[in-house]
Amino acid sequence: METKYLIFYPSDVMKHSFPKHSLTIWLSITGLCLVLFFVFTAEQQLPSLKKVFIKDFYVGVAVNQGQMAGYLPSDVALVKKQFDSVSPENVLKWSRVQPKPHTFNFGPADKYVKFGMKNDMFIIGHNLVWHKQVPDWVFKNDDGKPVSREVLLKRMKYHIDKVVGRYKGKINGWDVVNEALTEQGKLRDTKWLKIIGSDYIEKAFEYAHKADPDAQLYYNDFNLWKPAKREGVIRLVKELQKKGIRIDGIGMQGHWYLHKPSDDQIEASIQAFSKLGVKVMISELDISVLPIPKDHDNPPPSIRHSRDPALNPYANGLPDSVKNALATRYASLFRLFEKHKDAITRVTFWGLNDKETWRNNWPVIGRKDYPLLFNRYNQPKEAFYSVVETSGK
């Protein structure tokens, strides 16, 4: 009788020794411990991308300034668990590092490099010479007129010496020149090209090599699956190789869509680039699930600021059908990357989760996109598991 009473009416027993509010506290603490236990266990059991693909290629992620400053501790924990390579989303770009002549801001970049070193990661420098995120003063004299070729080369060399030199032996590979080609595979009409001439690319590679002879040096661009652009890169790499200038790899950015480009188009470029004897990297991977507006590579203001709901169909959540389509697309891409694992040395996601991704603001500002493997709360998506499942298959 006594036992039955204890089993069926524990709270009645407890109320002799605990006041009522203590019981509530006790139950809350127990509940909290159970929740924490399950969260911790689930977290422990989550596969790690870097471990899953350890024999194939580095799995990298672009990190932002807030993450490296420690404002987003759960992001940082996820980065450490999942990735063995990092890229700086913005902090190493010219406008951030040398916003004014001879005035350097290395604070955020130092934090980034320190983080990568502390966690034993393959650290990428992004980037040295680009037509975007480079201040106007670089190309102008004090009187506002364009600088001469000699002055611009001097400024380029000075910047590269300072930045690459500072992280010599720490940053493992540099995107030396970024997005220098048009969709037709010709040299893009930038101030670098106009003022220096077509040899600005080789000069950038030469300066970077001098500044850190052990660092790997890459050419990085988007839409490299397009045949004309692919041919442009091949010409560029062959030209550098003919002149004996070091180039180690090509970064195919990988800002793709659910149904575009096709795996075959991507594969053709991976094969063509690897034939050049350089490494191939998928350097900025993300898959937008949103409608593709016209002129999406160069959107006019009417598209940039569009509030058309048809362009932002998943503002209230992603339907299962699209979640599954994203998972299928990612699985298919990773099967392709593994097929070419002898050529591909790194696959880097451009951002950690769907909250931080730049694609929420490009080509249309303020949309809700879902391009990565982790959702807005850092939880793994169907696409994460579909990628993990491809390993070793």
**Interface with ligand G3I by CB under 6 A: which residues?**
89-90, 132-133, 178, 253, 284, 358
- The nearest distance, CB 256 to ligand G3I, in angstroms, is 12
- The nearest distance, CB 43 to ligand G3I, in angstroms, is 27
**Beta strand spans in 20-169 (E):** 58-63, 85-88, 122-129
Question: At 141, is the secondary structure helix, strand, or coil?
Answer: coil
- The nearest distance, CB 90 to ligand G3I, in angstroms, is 5
Residue 331 Cα distances to 56, 58, 281, angstroms: 15, 17, 18
Cα 373 from Cα 35, distance rounded (Å): 24
CB of 132 or CB of 168, closer to ligand G3I = 132
CB of 359 or CB of 382, closer to ligand G3I = 359
CB of 132 or CB of 307, closer to ligand G3I = 132
CB of 111 or CB of 386, closer to ligand G3I = 111
Tokens describing residue 331: 């699985």
Let me know: does 87 contact 283? Beta carbons within 8 Å.
yes
CB of 90 or CB of 182, closer to ligand G3I = 90
Let me know: does 314 contact 288? Beta carbons within 8 Å.
no
Q: Which residues contact 94 (CB under 8 A, 6 or more apart)?
A: 128, 130, 133, 134, 135, 138, 159
Cα 333 from Cα 324, distance rounded (Å): 14
- The nearest distance, CB 350 to ligand G3I, in angstroms, is 6
- The nearest distance, CB 57 to ligand G3I, in angstroms, is 20
Q: Which of the residues are catalytic?
A: 179, 284
Which residue is it, tokens 């690459």?
Answer: 164
Count the alpha carbons within 13 Å of 12 in the hemisphere toward its beta carbon.
8
- Phi/psi for 272 (5° steps) reads -65, -40
Question: At 112, is the secondary structure helix, strand, or coil?
Answer: helix
Residue 87 CA, distance from chain mean position: 6
CB of 86 or CB of 388, closer to ligand G3I = 86
CB of 124 or CB of 387, closer to ligand G3I = 124
- The nearest distance, CB 286 to ligand G3I, in angstroms, is 9
- Phi/psi for 378 (5° steps) reads 65, 20
Residue 347 Cα distances to 123, 159, 243, 336, angstroms: 13, 28, 29, 12
- The nearest distance, CB 293 to ligand G3I, in angstroms, is 15
Residue nearest to ligand G3I (CB): 358
What are the DSSP calls for 270-319, one per residue? HHHHHTTT-EEEEEEEEEE-S---TTTTS--HHHHT---GGG-TTTT---
